[in-house]
Amino acid sequence: MELGLAHYLTLAAILFCTGILGLIISRNIVKILISIEILLNAVNINFAAFANFADLDEAKGQIFAIFIMAIAAAEIALGLAILIACYRNRHSVDIEDYTSLKG
Amino acid sequence: MEVLQLLFFGMFALVIVVSALGAVFCKNIVHSIVSLVITFLSISGIFVLLNADFLAISQIIIYAVGITILLVFSIMFTTTKDDNNLWIAFKPRTLLAFVVAGSLFILLMFNITDKFTDFNKNPKLFITKAPKESTVKTLKEQGTTPIIGKQLLTTYVLPFEVLSILLLGVVIGAAVIAKKEEIPPC
Amino acid sequence: MEFFINNVWVIPALPLWGFLLILFGRAFNFYQNKYISLALTVGSTFIGFIFSIFILLYCINNPETNTRYNILWLDAGNLKFSVGWLVDNLAAMMLVVVTSISLLIQIYSHGYMEQDKGYHRFFAYLVLFNFSMLALVLSTNLFQTYIFWELVGVSSYLLIGFWFDRPSAAQAAKKAFIINRIGDFGLLVGTLALLFYSLNWWTSTQNVLLEFATLGQAGSLALANAGPVLFGLLAIGLLLGPIAKSAQIPLHTWLADAMEGPTPISALIHAATMVAAGVYLIARLYPVFELSTQVMTIMAWVGAITAFIPATIAITQTDIKKCLAYSTCSQLGYMVLAMGIGAYSAGLFHLMTHAYFKAMLFLCSGAVIHSLADQQDMRYMGGLRKKMPTVAYTYLIGTLAISGLLLSGFWSKEAILSSLYTQGKGLLLVIALITAFMTTYYMFRSYFMTFEGEYRGKAHFHKPSKVMTVPLIVLAIPSAIIGFLFSGSLKSIGIESFDRFVFNVHAIHGDHGGLFLPICSLIIALLGFLLAGVIYWDKLTSLYCSCFKNIQKQITPLYKLSINKWYFDDFNNLLIKYLILPISEFLSIFDKYVIDGLVNLCGLSTLYKGKALSLLQNGNVQTYLVTALLSFVAIIMVMILIYIV
Amino acid sequence: MEFLSLNILIFAPLIVAGIILSPLFPNDEIIVRRFAKGFAGLLFIYSILFMIFFKPHEVGYQFKENIKLFSDANWIEPLGISLSFGVDGISIILVVLTTFLVMLALIASKKAITTKHKLYYSLILVLTTAILGMVTSRDLFLFFLFWELELIPMYFLISIWGTGKKEYSAMKFFLYTFFGSLFMLAGILALNYFHVINTGVSTFSIETLTYSRHYDIPFMFEALIFFGFFIAFAVKLPIVPLHTWLPNAHVDAPTPVSMLLAGILLKMGGYGLIRFNTQMLPEMIKIFAPILIVLGVINIIYAAFVALVQKDLKLLVAYSSISHMGFVLLGLGALNVAGISGAMFQMIAHGLISAGLFLVVGVIYLRTKTRTFSQLGGLGQVMPKAFYFTMLLALASLGLPLLIGFAAEVMIFYGAFTSDSLEGFVLSNQVMTGLAAISIIITAAYLLWMLQKVFMGNMFEKWQKTSDLTPHEAIALTFLSIPIVLFGLYPEGITSLFLPFVDNLVSHFTL
């Protein structure tokens, strides 16, 4: 058995679905952020895999993975800042307490 | 060599899946962060397997160190003892989440395993292409860093600079958002 | 003389100018002086009066006069309505009657209204009425008549409601207008139907639609096209107009209430001119009515009943103006009765004589009321003959005239009665004679109660001014002699009988029934006088005690019927209260709760659907996410399925 | 003639609205109002010039305009949509009516509007543009565009400056009209579709679709198109049972807006019925005339009865509006010259009269802060001028001869009575007209009752100090009274403008 693209993609898919699962079922806001990181990592694996198997000459996938990392860092920084701001108001990190969007 | 690769891949993949599930399902938030760090580190191993040494290093620096520290700090700021008991929600959406995740996985697997090609009318979706001789040489001697560096400073220079502005904005924004509100003068 | 005929438009045009001048003069406050309003009013009427006199003389000399002039007013498709003027003997007679009575009443009004703060308004309304009435008289076609028919109605509305701060006046004005509108409705539908059934003939051969001169031909065409039943309905529709305007039963109730207006108005509009316009219109439409004997019979019976019932009501009225109002109603019934039995000229003759003496009677009552500080109840009058002899004697002349005791009323009433007699309408004749008896009775009753005996009131008396008494004296002259003048007895000196005079307008000869009837009616009138005298004249009351004391108790039910005006008003009120208003209320509620309810239900149902769906919007971001992803997965699945199949 | 440009007439109010709204314009009530008023006066004079230079005997559009924005092509060339304007017999008179009533509404705004002046006056001017565009557009799509544009200022005018349940009323008005206009849009698109499949050219031009339509649309579809238009205009006119937005909107709208709503916007329904349902679909109107007449008679009688028991002054006037608009339907259903001219005339007459009545209601409300009949009474003693003007308006409204309402009613009654458009229907034209004529009694009853309750009889002590008309109100009412009397005496002045058009219209479906 040769290690091919499909293996990496499968791994990324499993990781992605785990991320989705965590995103939906978590109650802790920090955990939701963690799930988002997992999602992004799954994507990164995909990018790196494609770069390796299809386009190693220019490695565009790796460049995009780098961009994604930067943006992930930005996202988590902002997200946590917002979390802290929210926490200051509600004194809770339980997502069930944040229902201002209720129609 | 191939067997070794396969062995490493299997090991890393197992660790990734288990630790990612752990990160999601751990009851204690600190446990899940530890689990997450393990995931990140394993992913960097996967990157190594994928000829992406720069990414692997970046992964460790940004994710396994930077983001984790942020997360730990935020937990310190926010979580009280009660919040430690926040586990997964037992709501209708939990069930739906499993359905969604499962069906999404099945869909993705359809795609990956070429079962899709029958109705896609595009039989070779993922064309794998062997790299040039020069590239292989560069890789062997210097790794991917020169390739990425050249690309970033030529073709992708604009996104690169925009990214730096974004990060600057984030630094300021995060500081502004997270800082304590001043009591407005009466 | 030709000049006056050709410029007859001046007669209604001057009051119109007068109206506009007063309106703008007052609206922009150009003048304060009451005499300017008065001069504009009286001046316009006076010139009109001079014109009318000359036109009448011309018509007497040229009995065939029929001058017409038409202006196209409204033109749309085959609709061509004109306005204009028509001078023939009938119009000439009406012109003189209207302008002469108007003139005197306007002068009288100056005395009556001098202290009123609405003086200018009063005269503005008065000239407006003058304009409408004169234009109505001069109408060349039915459509024009309809226009001015409504305009006199609105002038009457304005004048009845002149003292609009009195609730009763406001109510009476509204009632008058609405009841007249019922008549207008009939007139409008009748006119349209008449036009419709002869439309091709009108549009193909005539320039002026609905012209009176050719109404006969159109009527027979309509009869041929519509058949007798529809034609009868059409004619009844047309008749509804005069019924309302001339206060015939069952649309008579407004006339008594109309006495809420100032007394000169009661004299001018609600006794002499406007209410007589109904009879005038019947005369104009005679060629149409004649075609249907059933309608003529209906007309005669409406007239007869109207002559009878108001007379019985007048017997018990204590308000002097109400008494006169019911008397007017009754006399108008006489005229319509005459028209209905084909006594065309007799009806018009009675119209003319009645206009004079009834106007005078009303003015007398106005003088009395004015002198007694607005006291209208005859029970608080009495003995006024010594205090204001002029008024008393003119009132007596009027009373004699209306009773048919030798003055003008005698001649016209006799003409009607003899027509009834010669045509063998026994029952109608009996009703007419009973009415004549009652007329004499209640008129003398009012005379005795007001002018004879002792003064029973408390109000301070002040003498009526010259402005008010002179018109009375002037009016007394025609009231006394006009019947004799046109009776045909003066043929030798060149004055034709009234019968001959209107013959040229519509060729029907009056009937003469010999000597029996005049004597009979005189006797009946004398009986009425005696009865009134016995009950109400202090010089004869000694008889009353012995003969009549017991009778009163036995006729209580009849008395109640009379004093309650035969319950017509109550019936109308019940009709409105229990039929019209409930329908309206029902429709209003239906509108609010059913139609609008359905509309709001649509809105509410959307709202609740939204509410139900908004349960999904529980505020939890993850739920939204899972929904979105689920939909995404579902869409992909469906697409895959489509590809597979 | 060169200086008469419809473009200027239509878009000048929009530009002026922009000027007023711009932050550079001084935010001073008096300056804003005088500027808007002055502009409206100029606009009215300008529109009068159009009427003077209008040649009534020419059939078809005059003063044609076709704005080409960037090149020689029409506005949206591929779909055949053009920014084309023009006036003919029935629109010229509505153009003048619009500018006239806008001017009066602005004069009457002095006391009625107390906040957000800049926004108010600019919205009124936007509304003017919408209405003028509606009556002058020669393109169906453009018509629809303006039809929708008119809703927006109207919504804000009611919901911001109104009283009572203003948001509810504004929303109801908006949704109701919108609901109707969807059907119209479907009709417009269907007309275009059939033109495309028959000729291969896409066009929305009213002239082309009216006069050069040489193909047959399948009966079912033509009927559906007819009803699409009909529902839109039925909501606007309004026709019972689609009328319930009107009492709400009128009662809650501020006085000047009520004037415009009753005076012009309701007329758009009648205008649409003549322009589209009658002129474009003559075959259909011949078939569906009985529906028009039956609905017209129901409108007349039903609304009159409902008006009879209203306890609110403004509601009474609103229902009288509905009743009077029924005459428009009755006249249209007659399908002869007299009837359609009468319908047109009734629209003008009602536009003037109802605007006046709403103004008077506003005047009374401003002083007494109530519109309930039981609270009013005897006001004629302290407000004689208002009393006389109301009397004039009420008499004109109930169809008094020699005032403007009468000529309209006569033409309509005559047209409906002598028409045979109901041939084969259960009831004849004559019976239906007879039924409609009952309204002359009921109309008199409720209007005179209104006069009696408000102005006559005893006065409450509390109204002793009520002041009479201010010069502004008096001027507005005088301006309104002039055409009411003038064209009542001389109806030819109006009818001569649109008679050739109506003649031509009728000749098309009698052939």
Give the mean pLDDT of D146-175.
Answer: 91
Give B-chain residues touching A65 at CB under 8 angstroms.
52, 55
A16 in a structural domain = yes
Position C58: which residue type?
A: Y
Burial (0-12, 13-18, 19+ Cβ within 10 Å), C116: middle
Give A-chain residues touching C614 at CB under 8 angstroms.
103
Please give the pLDDT value at position B120: 47
CATH number where B22 lies: 1.20.120.1200
HEC per residue, C473-501: HHHHHHHHHHHHHCCCCCHHHCCCCHHHH
* Alpha carbon separation from C584 to C389, D306, D433, D449, D452 (Å, rounded): 55, 5, 21, 14, 19
If residue C617 lies in a helix (H) or strand (E), which one and from where to where? none
Chains A and B form CB pairs within 8 A to the count of: 240
- Name the residue facing D440 among C170, C184, C581 (closest C-beta): C184
Residue C277, both tokens = 């316009």
Q: 3-state DSSP call for residue D39? A: helix
Find all residues with CB under 8 Å of A13, minimum gap 6, and list them.
A42, B105, B108, B109, B112
Find all residues with CB under 8 Å of B83, minimum gap 6, and list them.
A28, A92, A93, A94, B29
C479-528 pLDDT, tens digit per residue, is: 888 877 777 666 666 666 777 777 666 666 555 656 677 777 788 878 87
**Buried residues in C557-580 as b, exposed as e (16+ CB within 10 A):** eeeebbeebbebeeebeeeeeeee
Give the mean pLDDT of D427-434.
Answer: 86
Indicate the average pLDDT of chain D: 89
Give C-chain residues touching A17 at CB under 8 angstroms.
none
Q: Which of residues 111-130 of B touch C (CB under 8 A)?
A: 119-120
Residue C411, both tokens = 């001649």
Sequential DSSP letters for C41-59: HHHHHHHHHHHHHHHHHHH
For residue B116, the enclosing domain spans 89-124
Residues B72 and B98 in one domain: no
- Give CA–CA dist C533/B3, Å, rounded: 148
CB spacing of C637 vs B107 below 8 angstroms: yes
Residue C367: closest CA among C388, C396, C393: C388
- Name the residue facing C188 among D306, D413, D455 (closest C-beta): D413
Residues B79 and B96 in one domain: no
- Give CA–CA dist C332/C412, Å, rounded: 13
Q: How many residues does chain B have?
A: 186
For residue A82, the enclosing domain spans 5-95
Does C24 have pLDDT greater than 60?
Answer: yes
C595-628 pLDDT, tens digit per residue, is: 888 888 988 898 899 888 887 778 888 888 998 9
C388-418 pLDDT, tens digit per residue, is: 888 888 888 888 888 877 778 788 888 888 8
CB spacing of B107 vs C644 below 8 angstroms: no
Token pair 């607005």: residue: C374
* Number of other residues whose CB lies within 10 A of the CB of residue D175: 17
How many domains does chain A divide into? 1
Q: 3-state DSSP call for residue A100? A: coil
Q: How many CA atoms lie within 13 A of C208 on its CB side?
A: 22
CB spacing of B107 vs C643 below 8 angstroms: no
- Name the residue facing C622 among A23, A100, A103 (closest C-beta): A23
Give the mean pLDDT of C257-269.
Answer: 86
Interchain CB contact of B171 with A (< 8 Å): yes
Chains A and C form CB pairs within 8 A to the count of: 31
Phi-psi region of C382 (alpha: psi -120 to 50; beta: other; left: phi over 0): left
Give C-chain residues touching A32 at CB under 8 angstroms.
622
CA dihedral of residues D116, D122, D124, D128 (deg, nearest 10): 180
Q: What is the pTM of this model?
A: 0.83
Give the mean pLDDT of D184-194.
Answer: 92
A12 in a structural domain = yes
Residue D448: closest CA among C255, C171, C151: C171
A101 in a structural domain = no
CB spacing of A15 vs B16 below 8 angstroms: yes
Does D288 have pLDDT greater than 80?
Answer: yes
Sequential DSSP letters for D190-202: HHHHHHHHHHS--
Indicate the average pLDDT of chain C: 84
CB spacing of C182 vs D441 below 8 angstroms: yes
- Name the residue facing C626 among B96, B107, B110 (closest C-beta): B96
Give C-chain residues touching A99 at CB under 8 angstroms.
618-620
Residue D218, both tokens = 């399948």
D310-337 pLDDT, tens digit per residue, is: 989 999 999 999 999 999 999 999 888 9
CB spacing of A101 vs C619 below 8 angstroms: yes
- Name the residue facing C584 among D175, D245, D308 (closest C-beta): D308
- Give CA–CA dist C298/D181, Å, rounded: 55
Residues B69 and B138 in one domain: no
Contact present, C139 and C145 (Cβ < 8 Å)? yes
Q: How many CA atoms lie within 13 A of B184 on its CB side?
A: 1
Residue A65: closest CA among A34, A36, A43: A43
How many domains does chain B divide into? 3
- What distance in Å separates residue B125's CA from the closest CA in chain A? 11
Contact present, C105 and C359 (Cβ < 8 Å)? yes
- Give CA–CA dist D87/D77, Å, rounded: 23
CATH number where A47 lies: 1.10.287.3510
D1 in a structural domain = no
Please give the pLDDT value at position B115: 55
Does D195 have pLDDT greater than 80?
Answer: yes
Residue C595: closest CA among D251, D176, D164: D176
C183-206 pLDDT, tens digit per residue, is: 999 999 999 888 888 888 888 887
- What distance in Å separates residue B13's CA from the closest CA in chain A? 7
Q: Which of residues 584-643 of C touch B (CB under 8 A)?
A: 620, 622-623, 626, 629-630, 633, 636-637, 640, 643
| Residue spans of alpha helices (H) in C161-214 | 167-197, 199-205
Give the mean pLDDT of C566-570.
Answer: 80
A43 in a structural domain = yes
Q: Is the dihedral of CA C187, C189, C190, C194 positive or negative?
A: positive
C317-335 pLDDT, tens digit per residue, is: 888 888 888 888 888 998 8
Residues B68 and B115 in one domain: no
- Give CA–CA dist A95/A101, Å, rounded: 12
Interchain CB contact of C644 with B (< 8 Å): yes
Residue A79, both tokens = 């997200």
- Give CA–CA dist D45/D62, Å, rounded: 18
A100 in a structural domain = no
**Residue of C611, C621, C623, C624 best to disrupt the A interface, most CBs of A under 10 A:** C621
- Give CA–CA dist C32/C23, Å, rounded: 12
D221 in a structural domain = yes
Instruction: Search chain B and give the residue with CA nearest C621.
Output: B93
Instruction: Search chain D and give the residue with CA nearest C188.
Output: D437
Token pair 């207006």: residue: C261
Give A-chain residues touching B108 at CB under 8 angstroms.
9, 13, 16-17
Instruction: Search chain D and give the residue with CA nearest C146.
Output: D401
- Give CA–CA dist D473/C187, Å, rounded: 38
Q: Is the peptide bond before D153 cis (omega within 30 degrees of 0)?
A: no
Phi-psi region of C609 (alpha: psi -120 to 50; beta: other; left: phi over 0): alpha
* Number of other residues whose CB lies within 10 A of the CB of residue B3: 9
- Give CA–CA dist D52/C304, Å, rounded: 59
pLDDT along chain A (103 residues), means of 10: 80 94 90 92 92 84 92 91 86 83 71
* Number of other residues whose CB lies within 10 A of the CB of residue B164: 11
- What distance in Å separates residue B96's CA from the closest CA in chain C? 7
Instruction: Search chain C and give the residue with CA nearest A101.
Output: C619
Q: Which residues pair with D66 in a beta bridge?
A: D84
| Per-residue model confidence as pLDDT tens for chain B (186 residues) | 678 888 999 999 999 999 999 999 988 888 899 999 999 999 999 999 988 889 999 999 999 899 999 899 888 888 776 666 678 888 888 899 999 999 999 888 877 776 554 544 444 555 667 778 888 888 888 888 888 888 889 999 999 999 999 999 999 998 888 887 665 655
Residue D418: closest CA among C487, C131, C123, C79: C79
CA angle, C109 then C111 then C112, to 5°: 60
Q: What percent of chain C has pLDDT over 90?
A: 7
Residues B38 and B68 in one domain: yes
Q: What percent of chain D has pLDDT over 90?
A: 51
A81 in a structural domain = yes
Residue B101: closest CA among A39, A29, C616, C621: A39
Residue A59 phi/psi, 5-degree rounding, is 55, 45
Find all residues with CB under 8 Å of C497, minimum gap 6, and list them.
C486, C487, C488, C491
Chains C and D form CB pairs within 8 A to the count of: 151
Give B-chain residues touching C620 at CB under 8 angstroms.
93
Instruction: Search chain C and give the residue with CA nearest A99.
Output: C619
Q: 3-state DSSP call for residue D427? A: coil
List all chains that touch chain A, counting a touch as 3 or more CB pairs closer than 8 Å: B, C
Residues B99 and B65 in one domain: no
Give the mean pLDDT of D402-408.
Answer: 90
- Give CA–CA dist C269/C303, Å, rounded: 20
Which range, B79-83, C63-67, D485-489, has the best average confidence (pLDDT)?
Answer: D485-489
How many domains does chain D divide into? 1
Please give the pLDDT value at position C227: 84
- What distance in Å separates residue B16's CA from the closest CA in chain C? 24
**Buried residues in D227-257 as b, exposed as e (16+ CB within 10 A):** bbbbbbbbbbbbbbbbbbbbbbbbbbbbbbb
- Name the residue facing D437 among C81, C166, C185 (closest C-beta): C185
